[in-house]
């Protein structure tokens, strides 16, 4: 058998015959790692004895998908209604964010419902996993395997026939047949393929834990995300107790849902009222630079307070900083404020923050960001009873957003009574649903600013 050397990019899987300082495909520096490939000659293709049949799409029988509820409502929401047998779920997140804790709690809930669960830990010993389980109060019958040899793991799966398999993590396991190190592109790809075949053949639901890079993407080749059925990201700030579970790919449900948890000593606890959590420190009196907005995450409305601070620059170049908001979007809003309303923000420092560490990416929060900046600039507060929703165009117009009724209903439930909304929204229907609120339809940013600062 002849051996040869090749270099694989650990980010995108690019293959090179020689080492390169920067990957030509993804432009990542120092990502090419040497791997030894054994050439065993020509491979014979096995011809399947049972050929697959061809069907018309209309002839394929329809049947409802079986799902297992995990007992954790926030996770079931993100998965689309529970775990689908034979599915492959990839859970990624920063170190220490709570990935292993969440999956151990899921294993405990499923084991309590008489579903056999095998937890394969490639990074921790059996004693360490047992210690965490006792701290979380999990005493269910969970089968535990402290092993990072994938062939050994698959052997035990076929013997035990569990309903759910948890592998923590996919970067820690390896196949001895490959000479590359665990976590390399070749190992991650091959291990994922083997696990995928097992899940589909044995109808075992598999959870894979994946590490993330400094940029927040899943470590390893992107092909890993393409092979699995569902990709979940566990997000949260290290200094905050809340955690957000997002779905970025889901073949069995929506990718717009999120699950919200709080980290406690006893593990992750579901948050039934996330709006109250993000408004926990909302000031009792009106202060300049603070505005509440209603954002929509999937079908769930969330109320979040936005804070802005505009002050004189102590340096030659003014600083711009954002937390939880897109930097470029905030810069665009500041340019509209300066061009259309005459606010001289070009030489001032500006800091914008979404309270609670939540990340907001939808354009419906634009109006609240603009009002917070203008409120801080003019030192005039916006009433704490006001909720602002709307997208801002380059000409200063307020554009409609989706789900206005849901946002207003959630805000009214929490005691907010005044709403700045796009004039193009169905305001009559909103007033009919919540008669105790006061709605201000606005066509332009200037109109919204005049009403908001007058109300404060």
CA distance 401 to 366: 11
Tokens 């005691």, residue? 415
Both tokens of 408, joined, read: 């207003």
Contacts of residue 25, Cβ cutoff 8 Å, sequence gap at least 6:
9, 12, 14
Q: What's the pLDDT at 219?
A: 55
By three-state DSSP, how is residue 59 classified? helix
Q: Which residues of the chain have pLDDT under 70?
A: 1-3, 37-52, 213-223, 238, 280-285, 426-436, 455-456
Q: Which residues pair with 55 in a beta bridge?
A: none
Domain 277-455 CATH (choose: 3.40.50.150, 3.40.190.10, 3.30.230.10, 3.30.2010.10): 3.30.230.10
Distance CA 280, CA 274 (A): 10
* pLDDT on residue 8: 80
**How far is it, in rounded angstroms, from Cα 106 to Cα 113?**
11
Q: Which two tokens stand for residue 243?
A: 């955690």
- Cα angle for residues 263, 265, 266 (degrees, 5° grid): 90
Fold exhibited by the domain 65-271 = Rossmann fold (3.40.50)
> What are 374-416's pLDDT values in tens digits?
999 999 999 989 999 999 999 999 999 998 988 998 898 888 9
Listed in sequence order, the residues at least 6 apart from 227 whose beta carbon sits closer than 8 Å to its beta carbon are: 88, 192, 193, 196
Q: State the pLDDT at residue 353.
A: 94
Find where tokens 């926030």 sit: 74
Contact status, residue 70 vs residue 76, Cβ threshold 8 Å? yes
The yes-or-no answer to whether 65-271 and 277-455 have a common fold is no
The answer to whether 134 and 142 are in contact (CB under 8 A) is: no
CB-CB contact of 369 with 331 (8 Å): no
CA angle 121-271-236, nearest 5°?
A: 55
> According to the model, what pLDDT value does residue 434 have?
62
Q: In whole angstroms, give the CA distance from residue 405 to residue 71.
A: 30
Distance of CA 392 to the CA centre of its chain: 25
Compute the distance between CA of residue 174 and CA of residue 191 in angstroms, rounded to an integer.
Answer: 7
Q: What DSSP line would sit under 211-238, residue for residue?
A: -B-TTSSBSS-THHHHHSSEEEEEE--T
Parse the chain into domains and list their residue ranges.
2-39, 65-271, 277-455
In angstroms, the CA 388 to CA 369 distance is 9
- The pTM assigned to this predicted structure is 0.77
């Amino acid at each position: 058998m002849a051996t040869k050397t090749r270099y694989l990019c650990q980010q995108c899987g690019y293959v090179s015959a020689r080492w390169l300082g920067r990957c030509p495909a993804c432009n990542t520096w120092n990502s090419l790692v040497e791997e030894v490939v054994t050439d065993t000659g020509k491979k014979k293709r096995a011809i399947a004895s049972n050929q697959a049949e061809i069907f018309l799409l209309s002839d394929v029988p329809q049947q409802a998908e079986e799902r297992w509820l995990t007992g954790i409502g926030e996770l079931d929401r993100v998965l689309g209604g529970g775990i689908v047998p034979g599915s492959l779920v990839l859970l990624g997140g920063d170190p220490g964010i709570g990935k292993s804790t969440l999956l151990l709690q899921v294993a405990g809930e499923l084991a309590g419902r008489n579903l056999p669960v095998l937890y394969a830990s490639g990074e921790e010993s059996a004693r360490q996993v047992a210690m965490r389980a006792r701290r979380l109060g999990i005493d269910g019958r969970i089968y535990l395997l402290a092993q990072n040899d994938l062939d050994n793991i698959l052997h035990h799966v076929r013997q035990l026939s569990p309903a759910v398999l948890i592998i923590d993590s996919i970067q820690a396991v390896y196949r001895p047949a490959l000479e590359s190190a665990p976590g390399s592109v070749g190992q991650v790809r091959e291990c994922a393929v083997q696990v995928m075949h097992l899940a589909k053949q044995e109808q075992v639901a598999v959870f894979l834990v994946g590490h993330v890079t400094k940029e927040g993407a899943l470590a390893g080749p992107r092909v890993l995300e393409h092979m699995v059925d569902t990709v979940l990201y566990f997000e949260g700030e290290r200094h905050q107790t809340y955690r957000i579970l997002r779905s970025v790919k889901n073949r069995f449900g929506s990718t717009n849902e999120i699950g919200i948890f709080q980290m406690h000593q006893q593990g992750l606890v579901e948050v039934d009222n996330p709006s109250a959590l993000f408004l926990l420190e909302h000031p009792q009196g009106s202060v300049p630079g603070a505005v509440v907005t209603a954002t929509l995450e999937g079908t769930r409305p969330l109320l979040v307070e936005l804070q802005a601070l505009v002050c004189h620059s102590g340096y030659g170049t003014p600083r711009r900083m954002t937390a939880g908001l897109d930097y470029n979007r905030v810069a665009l809003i500041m340019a509209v404020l300066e061009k259309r309303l005459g606010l001289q923000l070009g030489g001032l420092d500006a800091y914008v923050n979404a309270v609670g560490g939540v990340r907001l990416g939808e354009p419906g929060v634009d109006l609240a960001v603009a009002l917070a900046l203008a409120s801080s600039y003019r030192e005039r507060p916006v009433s704490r009873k006001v909720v602002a929703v709307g997208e801002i165009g380059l000409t200063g117009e307020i554009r409609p957003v989706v789900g206005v009724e849901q946002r207003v209903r959630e805000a009214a439930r929490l005691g907010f009574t005044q709403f700045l909304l796009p004039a193009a929204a169905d305001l009559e229907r909103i007033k009919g649903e919540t008669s105790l609120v006061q709605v201000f339809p606005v066509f332009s940013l200037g109109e919204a600013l005049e009403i908001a600062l007058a109300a404060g």
